[in-house]
A and B are shown apart, each in its own frame.
Chain A
């Protein structure tokens, strides 16, 4: 970044100064390693995945991997099965977590404990949840022993749709709860107090003040939970029925990559998965734009 020879008669600021005015100076060099890592290990692999997905290992034209996937009703049906799992999981997680997060939005004595319990599944991950589920939900498990003790019929909640559903909710709900707790907590109390001063009851305050302010956050959280549940993998195998009811999109990816060592086919399905996820996120951004976008925090002064 040396000073360029001044070509015109009007004296110009040195290039360095002009760049600095727009925020470009040597401190940006601190960004370089991070940009290199993200570009090299996240963006480039994405492009690499797209490029190998159109070079099928088994031959047959550029789009053979995609036509293979979409023409096989069993494989392509995975999209529907994933949607049938991810949407209810996201809906139930937000539906259960939202009232709880609303009540936990202020500091209270048990908050650390609640946070600890909620963080457990995030820390331990879906594998540990799937490992513990048989003892709780199998025909001889604790839930069915309890049901038998109180005279309820036996329920079959393992190695089918419901096994994966429960595992997914157990892992998704805590994340949703943490996000929503931040969203509800970020709404300034003074707005609520103002409404109360003007005579709004508790219900009115919730429906007319809190909910409209939280709506964009609720929507974003729902979409994030949906995307997260879209790529559910270990629990679909361990507590689901991976060849039928929980044959979600990640299963053919796993089979192609790990069992057939066909990374081109696996990448093609992963591209399909990514496109659907980006569509969901794009939809969230689009709908969000139509909701209230003012400040949720009151003035400080």
Chain B
């Protein structure tokens, strides 16, 4: 671990001979980074090892290994259902958020109109405020409307943080497209529909993919919002796992860990795809500065 994390500090040495000696702060920084990464990976790996273990006492590694927990987990009533629910909710939410959010992001990026700042503020708030500030009220409202516990309510509730995220990610990508391109298309006779489908959507594809995958990752891990509104048959994977973990008489640790490995596989897939297309540091931190 230490060798890989130390590598970047030695990189500038080749370019600038004056900076060759690693400073105390550099060593300290990378040691802390290495420790953090080690703890984080240990936490994640321990779940995988638990899922593979027959029994594990107070030793470094379990006494035996087995794959049977995965079959047990798959046969556990509710797990297959919650995987299905997770996918249904994720796909529905990402689709709705993109359909609604990308056009909205386009208008916000291109136009100055009264109320634009208010819209930006209210798009920012659900992203900034942690879900628990509004999860309970939203759940109460869903039950009041008579759709509490249904799949519809789970989809609606999870839309709240996703849609603003899509808008916020779309804006800088639209700003990168020169308005000249649109005007050229109009000069050549494109109507609004063709402008949108033939010019804007192809140019915006990287932004749409980035927004889609980042919100997919967020829906998959979203716990609080789903937790308060979901019913027995509409739990997503994280909610099922939380239920198993918080119940003292619940399933054995290895069985829960096996469920979690299913979840990790799904989430990791989303993460790897998202890093292929987007740099989260850019999309999260400095949307306004990414102009041409």
**A residues whose Cβ falls under 8 Å from a Cβ of B:** 22-24, 27-28, 30-31, 33-35, 37-39, 41-46, 48-49, 52, 96, 99-100, 103-104, 108-110, 112-113, 115-117, 119-133, 135-136, 139-140, 142, 145, 166, 170, 173, 178-183, 185-186, 202, 224, 227-228, 230-231, 233-234, 237-238, 250, 253, 257-258, 263, 266-267, 270, 273-274, 277, 281, 297
Contact = CB atoms under 8 A, between A and B. Distances in A.
A131 B257 contact: yes
Contacts of B56: 135
A131 B30 CA distance: 27
Interface string B150-178: 00000011011001100100000000000
A22 B113 contact: yes
B159 A228 contact: no
Which of A109, A112, A178 has the most C-beta atoms of chain B within 10 angstroms of its own C-beta? A178
Nearest to B287: A182
Contacts of A22: 113-114
Contacts of A46: 134, 137
A123 B272 CA distance: 10
B137 to A, nearest CB: 3
Given A34-B163, A43-B122, A115-B280, A127 B245 contact: yes
Given A41-B156, A46-B134, A182 B284 contact: yes
Nearest to B11: A108
A128 B263 contact: yes
* Chain A binding surface, main DSSP class: helix
Contacts of B130: 227-228, 230-231, 277
A53 B94 CA distance: 32
Contacts of A122: 217, 221
Interface of B: 4-5, 7-9, 11, 19, 25-26, 28-30, 32-33, 36-37, 39-47, 49-50, 56-60, 99-101, 103-104, 106-108, 110-114, 116, 119, 122-123, 125-126, 128-141, 143-144, 156-157, 159-160, 163-164, 167, 217, 220-224, 228, 238, 241-242, 245-246, 256-257, 260, 263-264, 267-268, 270-272, 274-275, 279-282, 284-286, 289
Nearest to B270: A123
Given A41-B157, A181-B281, A257-B136, A33 B104 contact: yes
Contact of A37 (B60, B140, B163): B163
B133 A170 contact: no
Nearest to A263: B140
Given A125-B223, A183-B285, A274-B129, A238 B245 contact: yes
A127 B135 CA distance: 17
A202 B24 CA distance: 13
B9 A124 contact: no
Given A119-B280, A123-B268, A250-B132, A38 B123 contact: yes
Contacts, number: 269
Contact of B113 (A24, A112, A139, A183): A24
Nearest to B57: A140
Given A99-B25, A182-B284, A277-B129, A170 B104 contact: no
B34 to A, nearest CB: 10
A124 B41 CA distance: 12
Contact of A186 (B106, B245, B286): B286
Contacts of B138: 41, 45
Contacts of A52: 137, 140
Give the top 9 A-B pairs by smallest Cβ distance, nearest first: A182-B285, A49-B137, A140-B58, A231-B130, A23-B113, A125-B221, A34-B104, A132-B43, A135-B46
Given A48-B137, A234-B223, A257-B228, A142 B60 contact: yes
Nearest to B108: A31
A49 B163 contact: no
A34 B60 contact: no
Contacts of A125: 221-223, 238
Given A182-B284, A238-B245, A274-B129, 19 more contacts: A38-B163, A99-B32, A100-B33, A104-B8, A110-B5, A115-B280, A116-B271, A117-B41, A124-B44, A125-B223, A128-B260, A130-B245, A132-B46, A132-B47, A136-B39, A186-B286, A233-B223, A266-B136, A270-B133
